[in-house]
Amino acid sequence: MKKNIFNYVIAGASIFLAVSACTNLDEDVYDKIPADSFGSTETEINALVGTAYKTMKNYFGGNFMALDDMAGSCTVTPTRKGGDWYDGGQYREIYMHTYTPQTSCVKGAWSNASSAIGTCNANLAVVEKSSILSDSDKTQKTAEIRAVRAFWLYKMMDEWGDVPLVTDYSDKTLPSRRPRQEVFDWLIKEINEIIPSLPDREGSYGRFTKGAGYTLLAVLYLNADALSLKCDNPYQKVIECCDKVMNMGYVIEPDFATNFSANNENSNEAIFAIPFSKTDTDKDNRCQLMNRTLHYKDKYALGISASTWNGVCTQPDYVRLFDQENDVRFKDTFLIGQMYDMTTGEKIITDHGRDLNHTIDVTMIPGTEYDGTPWGAVNQEDGARCIKWPFESDLVDAMGNDFHMFRYAEVLLMKAEALVRLGQDNATATKLVNTIRERAFGNSSHNYDSVDLDKIQLERRLEFAWELKSRQDDIRFGCYEKGMWSASGCDRSSDAYRRLFPVSQDAINTNQNLSQNDGYK
């Protein structure tokens, strides 16, 4: 059974359905504020906290997977032969960095994030007024909701730059965008303020703990320079935040796969987890990675019953970064090769009469180009699929593997990177990176003698494939304009303004106070 966070969500899910959908920042929804009596019982308070956490389940899904991994160098959703997944060209736009204010997943991600912030604001307003909680309970529960809100504001600031900074649910004015620097400064102050009130690590799986707070701070500081944000000594602050987390009892699990299994709530590497369950039914709150990545017939090779969609695969040059013979992360991340029917042992053949053989290469079929671009269709079986989160044999509609937003491995690599960027203590930085490599290779034979930024970037790519780190890392390491599907011939836009996404046109149409990012007007 998943730990404490499930108690929050289950306690009041049926009570709170009407509240959870009422809170998009772009719309005037104040007529749907919860009744004054709501929040008068412990069950209702837990429902408020739980539905704030539940917004996190929207992150590990289609919209942010597109923005944070496909626009980076990790994954791609090619158009399959027959037109599957062209979807109006949105995935071509994401890969080639030609996205517009009308690109569907850009609009969806903006809506996901702004709605989540609104949910947090609504729930926070009720919890803060509750008279049934002790002062200490109220302080902790409000701190947790504020932490979830801070995460979503961080994501909006990271993806769109200047964004609405709305923290008062009673303010009925439609918000304008605030400068990125102002939002960054607010986040630093807010997270530092709530960390002392967040729960400790023990017994708090799935909750925003002190460790998660310091990790989020470290992420903000690490990316400050790349985002042209003013911050005194950001890399030193990364080190200080990481040191705090390193003293909290987290460990690097000996087995890499422990972090992704169906029982990965047992991982002592998890700092902040988004719990999923195979009984999840909400359309936007289920983990359906299997549907997004597996071919329609892969289920026969894997012994599952899911109705898969044959979409996302890995950018080929990214796969080739791995030591395929010695690095356990290669086989634990990718589904590659000929698929065989688990029952008959026979080769599986696609409906196009081709072997279901997942190649690393993803090859455009000549003559299938779309809209005057080099982007064409590829065969249904092309591309390395994701098996990082293993599929259970009884999998039908929702996965029970949790998504670890922050892992201890990231803390070690952030500290190593900060040390290298400061030109300090390369021996310690090297030791931190080698801790991750020894787990991956099973011994010290592939350890580095010293590390630089190129080696740290490589290690992050190997460690965090499919974990929605790619876009942010590529911007920080200066390679966002270069994808890792070189054979496609689909060059990316070199315009620097593309490092921000356009503000959703739907949001602008709804809220006349919103402006558009430069370059998209």
| pLDDT at residue number 6 | 43
Two tokens, residue 459: 């290690």
Strand partners, 327: none
> What pLDDT band is residue 24 in, cutting at 50, 70 and 90?
low
Alpha helices in 131-179 (DSSP H): 135-160
Q: Please, how many CA atoms are within 13 Å of residue 365, restricted to the half-sphere of its CB?
A: 14
- Asked whether residue 32 carries a pLDDT value surpassing 90, the answer given is no
Structure confidence by residue, pLDDT tens digits, 44-56:
999 999 999 999 9
Strand, helix or coil at 128? helix
Pick from 302, 306, 304, 288: which is nearest to 399 by CA? 288
- Asked whether residue 11 carries a pLDDT value surpassing 90, the answer given is no
| pLDDT at residue number 31 | 33
Instruction: Kindly state the average pLDDT of the residues 351-379.
Output: 97
Taking the model in full, what pTM does it have? 0.95
- Asked whether residue 498 carries a pLDDT value surpassing 50, the answer given is yes
Q: What is the mean pLDDT of the chain?
A: 93
Separation between Cα atoms, residue 282 and residue 66, nearest integer Å: 20
| pLDDT at residue number 76 | 98
CB 351 within 8 A of CB 310: no
The CA-CA-CA angle for residues 421, 96, 24, to 5°, reads 85
| pLDDT at residue number 16 | 42
Neighbours of 307 (CB within 10 A): 12
Pick from 402, 408, 351, 404: which is nearest to 381 by CA? 351
Domain ranges of the chain: 1-168
Separation between Cα atoms, residue 268 and residue 202, nearest integer Å: 10
| pLDDT at residue number 61 | 80
| pLDDT at residue number 40 | 85
- Asked whether residue 211 carries a pLDDT value surpassing 50, the answer given is yes
- Asked whether residue 357 carries a pLDDT value surpassing 90, the answer given is yes
| pLDDT at residue number 33 | 40
pLDDT-above-70 percentage for the chain: 93
Instruction: Kindly state the average pLDDT of the residues 167-185.
Output: 95
Separation between Cα atoms, residue 374 and residue 503, nearest integer Å: 27
> What pLDDT band is residue 36 in, cutting at 50, 70 and 90?
low
> What pLDDT band is residue 62 in, cutting at 50, 70 and 90?
confident
Separation between Cα atoms, residue 138 and residue 128, nearest integer Å: 7
Strand partners, 163: 178
Separation between Cα atoms, residue 73 and residue 469, nearest integer Å: 10
Enumerate residues 6+ apart whose C-beta is below 8 A from 351. 296, 380
Q: Where are any strands of DSSP class E within 270-397?
A: 270-274, 313-314, 334-335, 337-338, 357-358, 377-378, 385-386
User: Could you write out the three-class secondary structure of 168-219?
Assistant: CCCCCCCCCCECHHHHHHHHHHHHHHHHHHCCCCCCCCCCCCHHHHHHHHHH
> What pLDDT band is residue 8 in, cutting at 50, 70 and 90?
low
CB 398 within 8 A of CB 277: yes
- Asked whether residue 186 carries a pLDDT value surpassing 80, the answer given is yes
Neighbours of 482 (CB within 10 A): 13
